[in-house]
Amino acid sequence: MIRVLGYKDAAGLITRKVMRLEEAERNVAPIIHDVRTRGDAALLEYARKFDKFSGDTVRMAVKGSLKREMQTAVETAAANIRQHARTQLPVEGFVDYPDGRRLGQIVRPLDSMGAYIPAGRYPLPSTLLMTVIPAQAAGVATICVACPNPSAEILGIAELLGITHLFRMGGAQAIAALAYGTETVPRVDRIVGPGNIYVAAAKKLIAGEVGIDFVAGPTEIVIIAAEGNAKWIAADMLAQAEHDVDASSILLTTSRPLAAAVAEEIEKQLATLPTAAVARPSIENNGAIVIVDAMEQAVEFSNALAPEHLALHDPALLGGIKHAGAVFLGPSSPEAAGDYASGPNHVLPTSGAARLRGGLSTVDFVKVISVQQLSPSALAALTPAITTLARAEGLEAHARSVEARSA
């Protein structure tokens, strides 16, 4: 049974379980070093050991097809994801100022990216859409996909998206191959996508040498509702809980009757849920319904938690939200819609990282490069400020490089 807590008793929910990456890092560090130094030979050894791979190369021919219903669903989702991704592109442009400064920016895509697509308990073809389409919208030329055991749907979507670099590899060895390159796998500029604790640890260790999205922990949702349909709310909480036994589903409400109805409905739905073996321990160990005194208190609690997913049944609360990976407004906007087909990305920051950034977007695959052009008069007007600051820092050549132009 899910816990029903008073606000004062819920403080512990903000102190989440910290991902125990240290042990995982110790385990994956030798794998990363091995793949970096021995390339394909090491990659194949680990693929055979961990991924039950028996081939001669991890590179796969991209051949697949989708059943009609699946293809229609994928085409709908892909169109919406691509449409939204294009709106996220930064705009190139210049501004000419009266004093002779011409300032602006150009936008250039990364040369390459790698998408990690999990295929464990739940193969995630939707993650292929969410990671590849924004990169395509950004104009990334080389797109690599790593998956330890591609399902028929993943293969079909890969062909539909025009993927040419697909590799049957997983775990830390896949992250290392993408980060450093091997004889078969191109080195990429950024690696994105979710994975287990070993994938997360590997991404953490290679961050800085190659870009990553973030180190992801267990998935989570916070729902804020003063009133609503208990059946819908319970279903939304279970949708998150079925991901992982460590997933977190929290309802914040001012209504004790709603809290009781949702708790009862969760039990009723668990009785017939095929994924209850995962969802029940998630709900019982990490889930909670918290009774707050006011909606402002719920917003304050949510901001402290900085959840991956935040569902606001009252859209008027949006103005108070400071930290969330993605926000779902109104009772007709379930989180599952965002997971698959509405358009925004489902690769989102967890474990409080939403305090620092939002979800994966087209912006992750481009560089915004500043450009400046000064007229002689603009440089002359700036010379006193430039030289004074340069000499205050002890950088005489900087000052002289400007003064030489007016000598």
> Which residue among the candidates 84, 165, 309, 313 is catalytic per the annotation?
309
What is the C-alpha separation between 243 and 348, in angstroms, rounded? 14
What are the tokens at 338? 């965002």
Confirm whether 309 is a catalytic residue: yes
- C-alpha separations of 151 from 49, 118, 190, 395 in Å: 20, 10, 24, 59
Contacts (Cβ under 8 Å, ≥6 apart) of 67: none
Q: Is the dihedral of CA 235, 236, 239, 244 positive or negative?
A: negative
**To which residue do tokens 């290679």 refer?**
206
Quick check: 4 and 251 in contact, CB under 8 A? Answer: no
Farthest-apart Cα atoms in the chain, separation: 85
What are the tokens at 108? 């250039």
Q: What is the DSSP secondary-structure string of 14-57?
A: TSPPPP-HHHHHHHHHHHHHHHHHHTHHHHHHHHHHHS---SS-
Confirm whether 308 is a catalytic residue: yes
What does the CA dihedral 114, 115, 121, 123 come to, rounded to 10 degrees?
A: -130
Strands of 101-109's sheet, edge to edge?
93-96, 101-109, 366-374
What is the C-alpha separation between 312 and 402, in angstroms, rounded? 55
What are the tokens at 119? 């295929």
Alpha helices by DSSP H, 243-394: 256-270, 276-286, 295-305, 335-340, 376-392
- C-alpha separations of 215 from 48, 119, 219, 306, 377 in Å: 26, 18, 12, 15, 49
CA 345 to chain CA mean position, Å: 8
β-pair type (190-192, 165-167): unpaired
What are the tokens at 193? 């996508």
- The DSSP symbol for 328 reads E
> Which residue among the candidates 153, 242, 308, 335 is catalytic per the annotation?
308
Angle at 290 between CA 289 and CA 291, to 5 degrees: 120
Residue 126 identity (one-letter amino acid): S
User: What is the set of active-site residues?
Assistant: 308-309
